[in-house]
Amino acid sequence: MMRTVKNSLKLLCGAGVTALWVAGAAHAQAQSSAGSNENLESSPDIVVTAQRRDERAQDVPIAITAFSPERLQQQGITQPQNLQATVPSLVVGNNGNPSREAQSFTIRGQGATFQASPGVVVYLNEVPLPAPISIPQQGGAGNFVDLENVQVLNGPQGTLFGRNTTGGAVLLVPKKPTNDFEGYVQGKFGSYDNKELEGAINIPIVDDKVLLRVAGAYQDRDGYTRDVVWNTDRDNLHWYSGRVGLTLRPTENFENYTMAYGANSRTHGTGTVNTYLNVPGLAATSLVGLPFCVEGPTIPGFSASCDVYRAASAEAAARGPRETAHGTNSFQRTKTWGVTNTSTLNLNEELTLRNIISYQRFKTTYAVDSDGTIFQFDDGDPRSYPAPGVVTLPGDGTPVVYENASPTRLPRDDIKVFTEELQLQGDLFDKQLTFTAGAFYYDQRPAGAQGAGATGFCPALFTGNPLVCGVYDIRYAITNTSKALYAQSTLDLGLVSPALQNLKVTGGVRYTWDRVRGSAALYQVLAPGEFFCFSDNSIATEATGCQFEANLKTKEPTWNIGVDYRFSPELLVYGKISRGYKAGGINANAVFTSTRTFPPEFVTSYEAGFKSDVRLAGMPLRLNGTYYYLTYKGIQRATGDFNPDTFASGARVLSADARIQGVEAEASLRPIPGVEIGGTFSYTDAKYKKYEFVPSSPTQDCTGNVISDPATVNLACIPFQYVSPYIYSFHVSAEQPLGNDLGTLAMFVNYSHTSAQHTAGTSIPGNQPGERLEPFGTLNLSLDWRNVAGSRMDVGFYATNLTNKLYRVSNSNTYNSQLFTATLYGEPRMYGVRLRYSFGR
């Protein structure tokens, strides 16, 4: 039955494409006698700011993918996860974090590392969004509302943008106020009781002098993972956001733009689903002399049978991927807001002075059930539990009474970020020499107390028993500051000799001073005035006695050298070499004194590519391609950690070296006016060259031997983490004016595919069940009737994951360290209708 439905849906989409294509061809023939419509024939150009100035994307000699507002809506891009497989070499995932909102970007194998600076920085209005410590997330809900465009830049971007990056940058460009009174109101209603409302209004208060734009959005949607213990839905959405932009132009040469934003999200948390329990490992493990489980006869009140864990696994398998059973009531609350002020002074026709200053806040509180069972394996922030007697041990019937709730709940992250950037831009000699130079300052620090409580490791029979399995607490306060000076210039050598016209040379340099400092404490309250410190296996009389402090300073130059040549208006070729750098950090989750800090990482990128707009048999064809080769050193690789002396679960950040190479391509063909066929493709080949460390627990290495401390493990043979070798997408876009002012029919169909991805950081393939995420593809559809009968009303239908593909987006990779594995599944099919009314000009 399911196969029949899928085939029917595919047939329906194909029929729709064919019908619109034929209609478009007929319409094009009718137009040929009256003159062609250039807007329908040529590929659309998006003005980007990849080099901190307005340029056509096709004129920028870097690999860049840009999305217009129309394309964002057609592809249903409302959050980072929706960009998966639509951009070459881009992977979006949770990176092992048990929070659905932890959607981080990895480009060309470089991305987020737990507790480290992001490898791909997200900017809103040219300012980097806050990057919290406990979760690989940048910004909050509503960032994709009312945007001018989204730009994804591949490769190091350190010589022009605020923060250093090794992987790339994602630019979210908000719509700024204009001199027209206009706006829109849009509503969406769909599956899982989805309700969305979005709108914006643009008001020229004083003609061309005082301009205002206000936008807001709201979404409420049920979750798609049912928690049978709590009788609630996980993975739901409930958020609202707002943005205000004010432009002041007191004189022709001065402009001041202020943007303020805010968002509030409140959900039932993430539906982690248990996939494996390591029963042999549990049988071999004990806590304070109490076994986690025993094979064979049990001793009442002392041990539970290992069959309870097998029964839990059987129940999880029977429930399937859309149901779970949490031992803690998961949730997440995130609040973000910020103000950015950009002042632009035209000193003369050639020089422009800009100043960008911002202040932002990010606060999130969440509870997670990392293992997806009623057992206590690293349950985060356990304050409220099921009532006594409600839950029983699977297959056993013994009531589970939870009594070890955490007495306090602090924000996991509560940070404030201040940035200041002063920039001078020049366009000299009729724009044959352009330059940008500036200074950048970044300061991110705690705005209040941060921390969490968790139960780390508890035998089945003693689940919830505070005498055996007490709550351990973590507190941390980490400050990141970065100072940088940078400059980049492009010279058209035609200024030197007419024979070299259109041959350009670009050079950029940046020097950065980074400092990471702070403190952390990981402890358990044994009794009043008695605290057990996990990081050094000591006893303290107060919590601050378990605290350690760290201070890490680094300073590094980064640079960029490039050349590009425009052979004709239709063809641009380029090559560049760039060096990127990302600061080290503090490991607040250290359970050993030797793992409290980690060093920076570096990448050198060699890249060559072309951008072309040509005609194939008379049809406009846009084809862009890139080849790159990276040497990647000091790679920050986060992994779980476990101290067998203290039974403390924590984390550490390892170091590795690798080489990465790949190709990227984007193409679009317009066979007839109003129809576009296009796609993207990338191949990434990533291999470790060096990956050695001293393990904290027995670890199998590339020799096949199990290595223990103090010997060194060699894992250079394992697959590279968070890389999908093949990523590609295809789309068909068709528009058909109906005539007689009836409006326009528009359709967009997109298929995106991601190949298999390895997620384990320290495991030989086969030793970590579920670490390989299977390949998957999703089909999206958008149908719109725009400007219905001249009413300025648009009516549309949308569907994402049309075939309801089941796929995984993350894996915990804790089978050997914490004796369980849990996974996160991607969104099921979502569909609905949208209504949009535009007013004003």
Amino acid identity, residue 828?
Answer: P
- Counting as low any pLDDT under 50, the low residues of the chain are 1-40
CA angle 75, 79, 85 (to 5 degrees): 55
Please name the residues in contact with 259: beta carbons below 8 A apart, sequence gap of 6 or more. 125, 174, 243, 244, 245, 246, 339, 340, 341, 342
If we measure between CA atoms, which residue out of 352, 474, 354, 472 comes closest to residue 413? Answer: 474
CATH topology of domain 2-272+326-369+413-449+471-840: Maltoporin; Chain A (2.40.170)
* Residue-level pLDDT at 6: 41
If we measure between CA atoms, which residue out of 457, 832, 397, 389 comes closest to residue 645? Answer: 457
Mean pLDDT (the chain) is 88
| Ranges of each domain in the chain | 2-272+326-369+413-449+471-840
Distance between CA 826 and CA 811 in Å, rounded? 12
Distance between CA 332 and CA 264 in Å, rounded? 11
If we measure between CA atoms, which residue out of 421, 447, 252, 436 comes closest to residue 340? Answer: 421
If we measure between CA atoms, which residue out of 361, 458, 476, 372 comes closest to residue 414? Answer: 361
DSSP collapsed to 3 states, 310-352: HHHHHHHHHHCCCEECCCCCCEEEEEEEEEEEEEEEECCCCEE
CB half-sphere exposure, 24, CA atoms < 13 A = 25
If we measure between CA atoms, which residue out of 747, 767, 755 comes closest to residue 817? Answer: 767
Please name the residues in contact with 613: beta carbons below 8 A apart, sequence gap of 6 or more. 43, 58, 569, 570, 620, 621, 622
* Residue-level pLDDT at 7: 42
Cβ–Cβ < 8 Å for 736, 23: yes
Cβ–Cβ < 8 Å for 817, 651: no
Query: How many angstroms separate the Cα of 562 from the Cα of each of 106, 182, 358, 636?
Result: 24, 42, 31, 28
Cβ–Cβ < 8 Å for 256, 343: yes
- In which element (H, E) is residue 207 found? none
* Residue-level pLDDT at 466: 78
Amino acid identity, residue 127?
Answer: V
Q: Provide φ and ψ at 496, rounded to 5°.
A: -85, -45
Cβ–Cβ < 8 Å for 591, 646: yes
Distance between CA 229 and CA 312 in Å, rounded? 13
Cβ–Cβ < 8 Å for 676, 733: yes
Distance between CA 378 and CA 658 in Å, rounded? 32
Query: The tokens 């329906």 sit on which residue?
Result: 12
Cβ–Cβ < 8 Å for 105, 113: no
Question: What is 566-624 written as a DSSP string?
Answer: EEETTEEEEEEEEEEEE--EE-TT-SSGGGSEE--EEEEEEEEEEEEEEEETTEEEEEE
CB half-sphere exposure, 580, CA atoms < 13 A = 30
Cβ–Cβ < 8 Å for 669, 677: yes
* Residue-level pLDDT at 643: 75
Distance between CA 775 and CA 595 in Å, rounded? 35
Q: Kindly tell me the sign of the dihedral angle through the C-alpha atoms of 235, 237, 238, 242.
A: positive
If we measure between CA atoms, which residue out of 831, 722, 727 comes closest to residue 777? Answer: 727
Segment 316-323 long-range contacts (CB within 8 Å, at least 24 positions apart): 316/273, 316/274, 316/275, 316/372, 316/373, 319/228, 321/273, 321/806, 321/825, 322/224, 322/225, 322/226, 322/271, 322/825, 322/828, 323/225, 323/226, 323/227, 323/228, 323/273
Distance between CA 416 and CA 132 in Å, rounded? 10
- pTM greater than 0.85 (yes/no): yes
Question: What is 354-421 written as a DSSP string?
Answer: EEEEEEEEEEEEEE-BSSSSSS-SSEES----PPTTSEE-TTT-PEE------S----SEEEEEEEEE
Please name the residues in contact with 361: beta carbons below 8 A apart, sequence gap of 6 or more. 130, 335, 336, 337, 338, 415, 416, 417, 447
Q: Provide φ and ψ at 74, rounded to 5°.
A: -60, -35
* Residue-level pLDDT at 287: 80
- Tokens of residue 113, six digits: 């590392």
* Residue-level pLDDT at 255: 97
* Residue-level pLDDT at 382: 62
- Tokens of residue 116, six digits: 């480290």
Q: Provide φ and ψ at 826, rounded to 5°.
A: -75, 175
- Tokens of residue 59, six digits: 């004129």
* Residue-level pLDDT at 389: 55
Distance between CA 60 and CA 148 in Å, rounded? 18
Question: What is 111-151 written as a DSSP string?
Answer: ---TTS--SEEEEETTEEPP--SSS---S-TTTTSSEEEEE
Please name the residues in contact with 756: beta carbons below 8 A apart, sequence gap of 6 or more. 724, 725, 772, 773, 774, 775
* Residue-level pLDDT at 198: 96
